[in-house]
Amino acid sequence: MSLLDLECLDSVRRLDTRRLLYQVLNFLMVVSSALMMWKGLMVITGSESPIVVVLSGSMEPAFHRGDLLFLTNRIEDPIVVGDITVFKIEGREIPIVHRVIRVHDDDKEGMKFLTKGDNNQVDDRGLYAESQLWLRRKDVLGRARGFLPYVLKLEKVKNVRL
């Protein structure tokens, strides 16, 4: 009888190990699928970050905190006044979402542009790197082509009695 009990326990242990392995494999499949979709979006849009979240109120009323922006970054499309760009500044980790207010095309240095948040009083020169007065195309992660409002809006949850 004890030999039979040991065989049953072994089969249960193997079954649990199999289920665990199955769950781990399913999880890895989901993660790898998400990574493949992200890389596919990067190729299609030309942007290293095709989807970003608005983190501040500097673009209100156009965009609010928690809005998801869908970006493209095709080199053949010129940046024009009014475009909403997402750009990175040297020494800063978090990208900034602001509107182009001025474009300067120079034969020597190429196209440069100046940005400003819709809800800000002054342009972004105070945000740029120390000696930087303009942004260049290399600073741009993408331009907003669409958005989903309030997707990641975090509301304060009050105590709820059930």
Catalogue the active-site residues. Answer: 58, 98, 124
Cα gap 36→96, rounded to integer Å: 26
Torsion of CA 151, 90, 141, 120, to 10 degrees: 50
Query: What strand order describes the sheet that includes 135-136?
Result: 51-53, 68-72, 140-148, 84-87, 96-106, 110-116, 135-136
Task: Dig out the tokens for 2 from the structure.
Answer: 């004890």
**E-state strands within the chain:** 51-53, 68-72, 84-87, 96-106, 110-116, 135-136, 140-148
Q: Are 68 and 153 in contact (CB under 8 A)?
A: no
